[in-house]
Structure 1
Amino acid sequence: MSLKPSDPVVRAFVDAVNGGDRDAFYALLAPGATMTDDGTERDLDQWVDREIFSSDGRMDVESESDGGRTLVASYTNSTWGTMRTRWHFTVDGDRIARFDTGQA
């Protein structure tokens, strides 16, 4: 059973990913939001389309720290299968300004 992150904005992010809800996902992002994958800056729109929405991405959260803003999750998509990943979120008010992900 997947843990629900205690930070409400991060929890909504996970729910949007797992629900395949692109509109809800983008509504959570602050204007100009950025991200990294394994330490490399990525084009957020291209990455999100390829790694989440076009490949049926899903997060099964295993643990959290930093008040629910850092997660370890099993991440699954139809391109790469399942891998253990780390996610860190920079939250600004009720939006995500940045997220960093990579293998855990």
Structure 2
Amino acid sequence: MTIPVDKIGDPAVRAFVSALNANDPEAFQAALTPGATMSDDGSDRDLQEWTEKEIFSSRGHMEIESAKDDGRSLVARYRNDTWGEMRTAWRFVVQDGKVARFETGQA
């Protein structure tokens, strides 16, 4: 069973996932604070390079399996054209109504 994006508790995370699934880089950027950071499998990455490669040019998409911490901790089936589908965990730090940091990795 999946959780609809509009049921994610935190509005900033909801905007992040909606923009990702819509493949909308402008809306995605608008969901982030200036200077937002991220990590993948425990290693900090360049957010712009990573999102272009892992989300936008490879048509990334999340299907939410579970949500905790008012939607700031997600487990999702994530797929893109590069890697196919994998079960991933996502953790978000929200500041001033936007995502300031996200961490992802295999679940």
If the length of structure 1 is used for normalisation, what is the TM-score?
0.97
- Aligned residues with identical type, % of pairs: 58
Q: Which runs of 4+ in 1 moved over 3 A?
A: none
Counterpart CA distance in 2 for 1:36 and 1:44 is 8
Unaligned ranges ≥5, structure 2 = none
Instruction: Report the 3-state secondary structure (helix = DSSP H, G, I; strand = E; otherwise coil) of the residue aligned with 1:60.
Output: strand
CA deviation after TM superposition for structure 1 residue 83, in Å: 0.1
* Post-superposition offset of 1:94: 1.3
2:35 to 12, 32, 37: 32
Aligned residue for 1:36, secondary structure, equals strand
What is the aligned residue count?
A: 104
Match status 1:17 vs 2:3: no
Distance 1:21 1:2, change over 3 A: farther
CA distance in 2, matches of 1:84, 1:102: 9
CA distance in 2, matches of 1:29, 1:53: 15
The gaps in structure 1 that reach 5 residues or longer are none
- The two structures have a TM-score, normalised by structure 2, of 0.94
